[in-house]
Chains A and B, each alone.
Chain A
Amino acid sequence: MTMPLPVFIVIPLVTAFLLPIFGKKGKAVATVLANVATISLLVLAVLSIGQSRVYEVGKWPIPLGINLVLDGLSSLLLLVISVVSAAAMLFSARYMEQYTAKAKYLTLFLLMVAGMNGVVLSGDIFNLFVFLEIASISSYALVGFGGEHEELEASFKYMVLGSIASIFVLFAVALVYGNTGSLNMAYISKAIQSSGLNVGLTFALTLFVVGFGLKAALVPFHAWLPDAHPSAPAPISAMLSGVLIKTLGIYALARMIFNVFGISVSIGWLLVTLGIVSMVAGAFLAIGQWDLKRLMAYSSISQIGYVVLGIGLGGLIIARGGNLAWASLAILGGLFHLVNHAVYKALLFLTSGSVQMSTGTRQLKQMGGLAEKLPVTRATCTIASASIVGIPPFSGFWSKLILVVAAVQAHFYWIAAIIVFVSLCTLIMYLKVQRYVFLGELPENLQQIKENRGTMLVAMVFLACLCVLMGLLVLMPVLKSNILEPAVEVLKEGLLYADRVISMVEKV
């Protein structure tokens, strides 16, 4: 079933502007409308799996106009964004009752979803920058939503670093336009293929890596993430850590490097190095944390390192001219880990929000023995922890296994050893979470707490089921070839993206 591509951007945008009309009295209606919007986005994303289309906005032919491109990588990311945003919106129906300005929260949330959908669908680098800014500015406002001391400080730090990253990206877009004369990704890629990389374009590529790397929180650009993710309200932490750093950071970086500029050996090694440093630094810094959400934020940095390592390893093998089957296995591992991490990190942050709503604290030393008071939260948190550590048969095991196998096959044995070592560190940190939060003695001031009811439970159970079932995505060939393989193909074919887009346009 074909539907026009702008519908993914228009539905959240129009709903976001519809909501302030309801004001303070119609809060229930506003919440229901927002949930309807995110669930309809989920349905539309599922219906558009496996299609690839180019949509010219306004019937202006490319390169004169803006086009929206839907291919394998975009449809995979659309699916991930809509799953996590539907779950987070369901969760926030009950969780945001603690805050006063709920209608504005829903508007900002839907604007962030619209921005992310725009980044994923855009086929034009300036359009990508505009939607990147829409999503980023909404997330700056959402991080500081509570208005307390720590939240404002975290939001200010995030905003300064994020703005500097966006300005770097705009500078790089200007340099690319100046050197190639076009803004459309397909035409830029053709121009770069025919003229080669000169100084300006190399500088632009460096600026892209710095800018998008800062949005993706790769080490050494990670300084904002440990402050911003804990201070945000729990569903926003889930969205930020689950999809925002992946869409704005990793998707944009992969699209630029693989499809527009073309992968080379030095860029491949750069990605592999950034991935390894992020993995190790994130894991070490996470073990010593005593704040629940801050620990999870550092572990996000470490897991994003896995994804960048997988994609970088695949790119390195392609650039060296090695076996393409190994490269596609590495990219498959990286992308599957991206999908997995979105689901289980979102679930972990939602459970931490549920714990915080019941007990009123985030410090591990003040909790304990919550296993019998919060049974559903405990079960879902255990499932998510088992996934992130990599225990079979949960989904995290499969993606780490694919990464290790790909590294060993390509004779990078030291990378496989580092992956196993960091998985052990992840095991340590999540055992710490389980022991301090759920096992042990129940303090006296927490004797009266009860389990949370309603939509929060529905959202958590939904994501937990997905965690268990996600392993089937690689095991069942029909799911793998429809959902994951097209994404891997897009990254592997690299510079052929331009020819495909131009041929798809001329057919229509």
Chain B
Amino acid sequence: MLYALCFLLFMIGLYCAAVKKNMVKIVIGIMVMEYAVNLFLIMLGYRLGGMAPIIDKSHLESEAVFAQFLNSAVDPLPQALVLTSIVISLGSLALMISICIRMYEKYGTFDITEIRRLRG
């Protein structure tokens, strides 16, 4: 059920990136899509009633406590994947915004229907 909401957010981002005419709104649409995918990736690791997968000294005292920790911790692998994905989308966003700014300086407008020198 929550996965369906995530997919709805992805579709909203895709609609925004495909239909809008202002360049900055297209970039925002792409960013919304990336948020949706990161959210989906984190939700994959969730375990109902779980807790954060961080060990501290109280967990290493005995076997029973450690086994209970392992049974109730959420999956830490998607968190590492999402961290990498956020870094990559940061680089991509920086590049997109700088190209938008350059295009505004050259063409004087943010509207992509007026930026159509290449055709055919």
Contacts and interface: CB of A to CB of B under 8 A. Distances in A.
| Bound pair (A, B) | yes
Given A153-B115, A164-B17, A174 B44 contact: yes
A178 interface: yes
B30 A167 contact: yes
Contacts of A159: 92, 95-96, 99
A149 interface: yes
A144 interface: yes
A452 interface: no
B99 A144 contact: yes
Contacts of A152: 99, 102-103, 106
Main secondary structure of the interface of B (DSSP, over half): helix
B115 A133 contact: no
Given A137-B92, A164-B17, A155 B120 contact: no
A289 interface: yes
Is the interface on chain B under 10, 10 to 19, 20 to 34, or 35 or more residues? Answer: 20 to 34
A137 B95 contact: yes
A254 B103 CA distance: 37
Contacts of A160: 17, 26, 30, 96
The residue among B17, B99, B103 with the most chain A CB atoms within 10 A of its own CB is: B99
Given A130-B88, A164-B14, A150 B40 contact: no
A126 B81 contact: yes
A294 B26 CA distance: 26
Interface of B: 10, 14, 17, 23, 26, 30, 33-34, 37, 40-41, 44, 77-78, 81, 84-85, 88, 91-92, 95-96, 99-100, 102-103, 106-107, 115-118, 120
8 interchain residue pairs of minimum CB distance: A178-B44, A174-B41, A133-B88, A227-B118, A152-B103, A171-B37, A167-B33, A170-B37
5 contacts: A159-B92, A159-B95, A160-B30, A170-B85, A171-B40
Interface of A: 126, 130, 133, 137, 140-141, 144, 147-150, 152-156, 159-160, 163-164, 166-167, 170-171, 174, 177-178, 183, 226-227, 231, 289, 291, 294
